[in-house]
Structure 1
Amino acid sequence: MALPAAFHDIAKRVNNWGRWGEDDEIGTLNLITDEVVRAAAGTVRRGLRVPLALELKEDGVQTGMIPGRVNPLHVMVQVNQELFGPGTVATSDDAVTFGLQAATHWDALTHASHSGRIYNGRPASSITPHGRSAFSGIHTARHVVSRGVLLDVARAKGLDRLPGNHAVTPEDLDEAAEFGRVTVGAGDVVLVRTGQVRQYLAGDKHGYGYPSPGLSVRTPEWFHARDVAAVANDTLTFEIFPPEIEDLWLPVHALDLVEMGMLQGQNWNLEELSTACAQEERYAFLLSAMPEPFVGGTGTPVAPVAVL
């Protein structure tokens, strides 16, 4: 089924192809300038560090809904092995196999395509089984350190968690920004809290994934208008699931990643950060969220930390 005209209308309004040159591979990360990072460092007052990643473990968030996206399969390949003979120093080593988007992660710009294209108008056929992503692989996103802004949509509404059928709208984002007394600006990394990860943390990983609140197809224009560098939230699918528009699956992925060239992150644990920001009465902070540089990867695990 072809994407509807309404989708293409939004795509035209948020499109960034060519904005940073025809050879650009990092999209809105170009908005994280030296000046932005210096200003972000100035938000640190206490040095309070808040981790935002879920644990990587064999019984993690993946349920098999997405074929091949497996939770970490962790094996020991050495256990107290004396490599250089009896009585020498012993070492232990391990190995892991898992989906790069298995837990807390960034989606690379190549994670989604539509109409045969990826970001900056390149052909989707440039992603191949053995060559992986020839352009805009996650290894090109070399620096994701900026001002982070928590838009705590759930707390702004007086809720622990948004209902499963709640599509987060631009109006919700405005409400959360006003609640946090923060103005989203160029180069910011926006974290949108729905509270949905509470389902997973409580042991209900099937309920965590479906049904799930998430971003509305209307939100890409909100982020585009503010020159946001990246967006992450605390859900499995990022956007509302099942979709708000019948049979229009993953439109926000296509608008963010393909049209805007904006990294998006999923499965971020924003619960401790929500509490910390409420206690500190401030919702902006220094955020370090460096991608693991898997060459050609369409995504990567990340262990983000907010510093207040």
Structure 2
Amino acid sequence: MTTFASDMRELGKQVRNWGRWGADDERGTTNLITPERIAAAAQLIRTGEVFELGIPLDADGPQPGGNRINPIRLMSENGQEQVLPGGFKWADDYVFMPLQAGSQYDSLSHVHYDGQLYNGHPGDGVTVKGADKCGIHTQAKGITGRGVLLDIARHRGVDWLEAGSVIGPDELDDVAKAQGVEIGPGDIVLFRTGWRAKFLAEKDPAGFMAGEPGLGLATAAWLRERDVAVVGSDNWAIEVMPGENPGALFELHMVLIRDMGMTLAEMLDFEELAEACAADGRYDFFYAGPPLKFTRGVGSPINPLAIR
């Protein structure tokens, strides 16, 4: 196995996908989800069971304020004062929310460093008007294909991992082996830390956001070697928080998004799906999770489905 650097910038150079799908590419690793792989993933649907992986978009979510808030939904019409022909009544509502509230994708314009986005696109192209390159709209054909759940919490025998608990490549291999699944090119890999279960049990947004268990920096190489298309979790930032290197912030975000071109799915709910997978031992499924088509957006709320 190749030895990969622990320094974030050196690691980024080693796992970088720039130019792999052309100099103008803005989609990154979702290019690995080919029509052939989607067709093969469809064969994983056996019973037609559908599991929703998105958390509710309401005021009871885990984002307490600051940079991001839970969605605020307001009624613009409720029909109560309407007098219309034939007794017709109608209602409308609208919502105010960050595009990264609740279950969400990080687009490839979400983070950058040293003045460059994924594939060398200029970082200053992200302005008050949004992202002129690598916006979430570039994923609009949908993110769908073979999903694999790696249930880290169940493998460790705990309800949830503790904040600051690092998940490394060896553990990902161990869990995959124990579950009888192999991770391959174009897969959408979802890992369960139990962090959603913790929130449901404690109802403590501040505690949910104060830290988290998650992937360590070394897993970037693991994901790159297997050509994973998308990685997602039930935590809020994919990577372990606090991070492994004091004085650095979101290093895995920078390597995965900026260097590898990998879309991240955050704050998903795997509780029902995990129970079903454990019951019959099937941990792969058809995943359907298109983003909303916000032009130049740097993220999008989602409600992905796992279909078995």
* TM norm structure 2: 0.95
Deviations 1:178-197 (A, max 9, x none): 12100000110000111111
Q: Tell whether 2:165 aligns with 1:169.
A: no
Whether contact under 8 Å (2:33, 2:229) holds in the other structure is yes
Q: Confirm or deny: 8 A CA contact 1:82 1:89 kept in the other structure.
A: no
SS of equivalent to 1:286: strand
Structure 2 SS opposite 1:293: coil
Residue 10 of structure 1 corresponds to: 11
Q: How far apart, CA to CA, are the structure 2 residues paired with 1:145 and 1:188?
A: 9
* 1:136-162 residue CA offsets vs partner (Å, 9 max, x unmatched): 110110220100000111111222211
Distance 2:193 2:6 in 1: 29
Q: Matched residue of 1:306: which SS?
A: strand
Contact 1:199–1:207 under 8 Å retained in 2 = no
| Residue number in structure 1 paired with 2:114 | 115
SS in 2 for 1:155: helix
Is the contact made by 1:82 and 1:90 (CA closer than 8 Å) also made in structure 2? no
RMSD: 1.5
For 2:183 and 2:13, locate their aligned partners in 1 and report how far apart those are by CA, in whole Å. 23
Closer, same or farther in 2 for the Cα pair 1:137/1:84, shift >3 Å?
farther
**Which whole-Å CA distance do the structure 1 matches of 2:207 and 2:175 have between them?**
25
Work out the CA distance in 1 between the residues paired with 2:50 and 2:183: 21
Partner of 1:96: 95
Paired residue for 1:186? Answer: 185
Aligned twin of 1:34? 35
Q: Is the 8 A contact 1:81 1:92 kept in 2?
A: no
Aligned partners of 2:62 and 2:204 also within 8 Å: no
Q: What are structure 2's unaligned runs of at least 5 residues?
A: none
Displacement of 1:81 in angstroms is 6.5
List runs of 5+ in structure 1 lacking aligned partners. none
Measure how far apart 1:88 and its partner are.
4.4
Alpha-carbon distance, 1:305 to partner: 0.8
Alignment partner, residue 75 of structure 2: 76
Q: What pairs with 1:138-287 in structure 2 (closer than 5 Å)?
A: 138-142=136-140, 143-202=142-201, 203-287=203-287
CA positional deviation for 1:278: 0.4
**What's 2:301 paired with?**
301
1: CA distance, partners of 2:89 / 2:293: 30
How far 1:95 moved relative to its partner? 0.5
Identity score, percent: 39
**Cα separation, 2, equivalents of 1:125 and 1:45:** 47
CA distance in 2, matches of 1:230, 1:256: 10
SS at 2:94 equivalent: strand
* Paired amino acid for 1:152: D
The answer for the alignment partner of 1:133 in structure 2 is 131
Contact in 1 for aligned 2:15/2:220 (Cα 8 Å): yes
- Return the alpha-carbon distance in structure 2 between the equivalents of residues 91 and 307 of structure 1: 34
Q: Give the TM-score taking structure 1 as reference length.
A: 0.95
Consecutive aligned runs of 4 or more in structure 1 exceeding 6 Å deviation:
81-84
Number of equivalences: 302
